[in-house]
Structure 1
């Protein structure tokens, strides 16, 4: 009987492992990350984010503009259509990793907003920019400090 149990487990184990491996090969329930900020001025916001990211939008509709940033979408959306009654800058804060905060600081200033000094904390540097609509966007850079 002991030999039967051992043989049964030996036969069942690869099948069980195969099922676990098949589960892990299934696509993840979350495929990409994206965020959007609300605006009352799609055209003005598009100009600002084109200058900040130095790329053209992947999607450009009259009430929704999306930029492909690091494999996900950073979008601007009409407050009237997508969140009527919401207050400017009251949503979630987009938090984006960057390799070059100084370049983003220069771009933001050139696009017409005041970019504050870069905050240097042990292990991380931060740049907090407020877009022309009052939306805070935070960029971070991991450091070896």
Structure 2
């Protein structure tokens, strides 16, 4: 009888935690970035021509094993997705998708401003009698300064600074 109570309690705890994960709230982990704008975009300006920055971002995304969903040179928009697996067979969460949007803005002084926005999705797997069912939980805008800093540092390095 005690085993049944423990199992029921574990099930209830997992349900409560999964409900809190599906609220879709913005992830506020750490201090806001000093270069974040009011709408959540991170930005950095580079003393490099627009075409060179665009090409470098595309190459960098491919090297980082990202799926490039779209690129528009005229508008300066690049969208990409990066899947990061959990690599833990004992959890239902199989990984995370980072959905990235880069906006490139030509400046009059020959510089290029790059704005980056990242949204996070979590991917879950459940086993059924017919196989696996995958589901996605949209977590929302990612505001974690280290993630943005890493992407901008990689771009800065590839641009030769």
TM-score by structure 1 length? 0.31
Larger Rg: 1
More helix by share: 1
**Structure ranking higher in strand proportion:** 2
